[in-house]
Amino acid sequence: MAQQISLHAKTILVTGGAGFIGSHLVGAFLHHGARVRCLDNLSTGHFKNIEPFLKNDDFHFIEGDIRDYDACAKATQGCNLVCHQAALGSVPRSIEDPLTTNAVNITGFLNMLQATKAAGINRFIYAASSSTYGDSKTLPKVEENIGKPLSPYAVTKYVNELYADVFAKTYGVECIGLRYFNVFGPRQDKDGAYAAVIPKFVAALINHEPPHINGDGSFSRDFTYIENVVQANLLALNTASAKAVNQVYNIAVGERTTIQQLFEALQKGLSKLDPEIQDIQPQYGPQRAGDVPHSQASIEKAKELLGYDPKYKFAQGIEESIAWYWAQMQKQH
């Protein structure tokens, strides 16, 4: 990484810090010398993700909900920076329950922005989403050109960007939105109805079950390994350039992998550990409502203004993830 990262003497609030992405950020911030506060209601995050940090005097866990403004206000007191990761993810969940998705992702987001402003904190980094591109067919996706949202979840993430822009212009809060593209890696949840595709496929293959593919496998994604996301957040928290703030950035690798290619990569990697996996074939089903057919990011803006330089390509990230999931499975048996 071109820029030297130091978070010494900084107190950072990470909302959703017990989640998959949030817990990786907590670990990285502690590693770089920060004091870290984690606000999480443990609805989709897991206590086990933050357990390793509990012995660290620089880590403090607050169980609370971003829908509760008082909890947000208390959590921000005495912090220098806010890294807002808490949200209710999943397009299908938002289609089934738009009210809760809206309450968490919009009211919760506004609560955190207001609490940040009230506490006198001048930088607010937040998790934006590639879902904001909606029905835009242009590839690669460029930050300034978005389409119409295709799901309630996408609407909420777009509204976040609008609110951040207003708070930047009206109140002077420095906001940086990071539009994540299909983040994956260790600690990503394989359980539950709304589990992400990679841990779901891995769990099915390890259990000798056929993974379920929505559609014919031709839809594609810019799968982004977690360490690239950690790098982007560290840069966003550290970046001193006035040009870099009050912007939204694609955080991805800039490549496209089809769901079929993803299945084949996972099958190949896992077959080295268990040869029986090479004979498993996926089951194909109907396409999901609200799914964007193709997603690939232009990462030029993040490279230029943040100094972002993703170190992990898809193949390397898949290798690391397989090793982690396999090790977890061995522990359970």
Mean pLDDT over 68-72 rounds to: 98
Residue 329: which pLDDT band, with cuts at 50, 70 and 90? confident
Give the dihedral of Cα atoms 223, 227, 231, 233; nearest 10 deg: 80
List the single range of 170-184, 237-251, 262-276 with lowest mean pLDDT: 237-251
pLDDT, tens digit, 9 for 90 and up, residues 186-219: 999 887 666 689 999 999 999 999 999 999 999 9
CA 202/CA 198 separation, integer angstroms? 6
**Hey, which bits of the chain come out as E strands?**
11-15, 35-40, 59-63, 81-84, 123-129, 174-180, 183-184, 212-214, 220-221, 224-225, 247-251, 257-258, 283-285
- Helices 108-118 & 152-171, crossing angle to 10 degrees? 20
Q: pLDDT value at position 189?
A: 86
pLDDT, tens digit, 9 for 90 and up, residues 97-142: 999 999 999 999 999 999 999 999 999 999 999 999 999 999 999 9
Q: pLDDT value at position 3?
A: 58
User: Of 69, 126, 133, 153, which residue is the catalytic one?
Assistant: 153
pLDDT, tens digit, 9 for 90 and up, residues 31-59: 999 999 999 999 999 999 999 999 999 99
Which residue is listed with tokens 């982690």? 324
CA 87/CA 99 separation, integer angstroms? 13
Residue 1: which pLDDT band, with cuts at 50, 70 and 90? very low
Residue 181 has pLDDT above 50, yes or no: yes
Domains of the chain: 11-184+225-254+297-311 (3.40.50.720)
153 is catalytic: yes
Mean pLDDT over 305-332 rounds to: 93
H, E, C per residue of 181-217: CCEECCCCCCCCCCCCHHHHHHHHHHCCCCCEEECCC
Residue 2: which pLDDT band, with cuts at 50, 70 and 90? very low
Give the dihedral of Cα atoms 36, 128, 260, 150; nearest 10 deg: 150
Coil/strand/helix, residue 289 = coil
**pLDDT, averaged across the chain:** 94
Q: What is the pTM of this model?
A: 0.95
Q: pLDDT value at position 240?
A: 65
